[in-house]
Amino acid sequence: MANIGEVFGAASAVVKGMGITFKEMMNPTVTENYPDEPPKLQERFRGVHELQRDENGLEKCVACFLCAAACPSMCIYIEAAENTEKVRISGGERYAQVYNIDYNRCIFCGFCVEACPTDAITHGHGFEVASYNTSTLIKRKEDMLVQIPVGARPPVITESAEAGAH
């Protein structure tokens, strides 16, 4: 036989749960009309990565490899190249000639953003990265670079420097 206290406790739990259910039923339904209206994302939302530029239009990434070292899923691949007098891509001695992130493996943990000493990599608010083809989920540097700020001069690459690089 069940104790009267146990029966009363179980009944009060059911009544409390049903009270919450009925209260929620009376609230209006909130529907976002996506894709007609942009969704309301939280400020700290971790979307696809962006590679930032400084106020002069130079890339902030100095190819220090700290983001790749901090990544637990090892989805970041970087190849560094040296800045020269004729070719100045970033403010440091080096720049990331190749910067790839494999979104098949990325877990959006944010460790790469925290590890970056120059704030070159950040999380943007882009979220539409779904694809049926996994090869399209490998984002290259060109896909992630933000636009050059208004009034900034883009990096100048001379013809002779391009010929020497290839």
In sequence order, the β-bridge partners of residue 94 are: 82
Residue 63 belongs to a domain with what CATH number?
A: 3.30.70.3270
Residue 51's nearest CA partner among 111, 156, 126, 141 is 141
Structure-block tokens of residue 111: 């460790």
For residue 145, what pLDDT is reported? 96
* pTM as predicted: 0.73
Number of C-alpha atoms within 13 angstroms, CB side, residue 111?
A: 15
Question: Tokens 């896909």 belong to which residue?
Answer: 143
Q: What is the share, in percent, of the chain residues with pLDDT greater than 90?
A: 65
Per-residue pLDDT, 29 = 86
Q: Is the distance from CB of 80 to CB of 94 less than 8 angstroms?
A: yes
Residue 78: beta bridge partners?
Answer: 99
Position with higher pLDDT, 150 vs 110: 110
Q: Is residue 38 in some structural domain?
A: no
Mean pLDDT calculated for residue range 125-149: 93
Position 14 in a domain: no
Residue type, 143: D
12 occurs within a structural domain? no
Q: Determine, yes or no, domain membership for 115.
A: yes
Cβ count near 58 (within 10 Å): 20
What is the rounded average pLDDT for all residues in the chain?
Answer: 89
Q: Which domain holds residue 117?
A: 49-148
Alpha helices in 48-97 (DSSP H): 66-70
pLDDT at 157 (0 to 100) = 63
Higher pLDDT, 55 or 113: 113
User: pLDDT-based confidence at 163, cuts 50/70/90?
Assistant: low
Per the domain annotation, does 37 fall within a domain?
no
Q: How far is CA 144 from CA 1, 48, 51, 74, 114, in A?
A: 67, 8, 5, 18, 17
Over the stretch 20-40, which tens digit does the pLDDT of each residue have?
999 999 998 888 888 899 888
Number of domains, the chain: 1
32, 39 contact by CB (below 8 A): yes
Q: Are 56 and 152 in contact (CB under 8 A)?
A: yes
Tell me, yes or no, whether 9 lies in a domain: no
Mean pLDDT value of segment 53-66: 94
pLDDT of residue 4: 84
Q: pLDDT by residue (tens digit) across 61-108?
A: 999 999 999 999 999 999 999 999 888 899 899 999 999 999 999 999
Whether 94 is in a domain gets the answer yes
